[in-house]
Amino acid sequence: MDGSKHADEPLTFQQIKDTLCGVCCPHCDHHNQTLTLRIQAADGLTIAECTHCGTEFVVVNDKLQAIKTAEKHLAARLRSVPCPGCDSPLFALRFRCDLRDGSCFFMAHCLTCGHVYRVIPGSEALKLVEIS
């Protein structure tokens, strides 16, 4: 990336593409050549999508801001997904990291039945995988 940019300045589309050249998908670990970019017109977010597994993630400069932005984006999408256990749309969304393997993910806790799911974002829909 261009060292003359400050962390709070927005990245250009080309800078994002160049940065993602060395990045693997955070879900399936496939290399950058499976990532595609698009600008989401409604809110101006830059979304990277893995064409191998369909996982989407929001691209931003700052890591903490990335988590907050992704959480806001996922929370909005989660409102249209019913709980597989009870069909309720009421979830609490949390960001978590697994200390055993270093993976980070969002989990959704159903406020109605108490089931907990790992959230896997995809281009078409969110996938909820129950955490045991």
Residue ranges per domain, the chain? Answer: 13-130
Which residues have C-beta within 8 Å of that of residue 35, sequence separation ≥ 6?
20, 23, 25, 48, 49, 50, 51
Q: What integer pLDDT is reported at residue 2 of this predicted model?
A: 42
For the segment 11-70, what is each residue's pLDDT rounded down to a tens digit?
Answer: 666 766 676 666 667 667 666 555 667 666 666 677 777 777 777 777 766 665 677 777
Residue type, 32: N
pLDDT digits (tens, 9 = 90+) for 114-131: 999 999 887 677 889 998
CA neighbours closer than 13 Å in the CB half-sphere of residue 115: 16
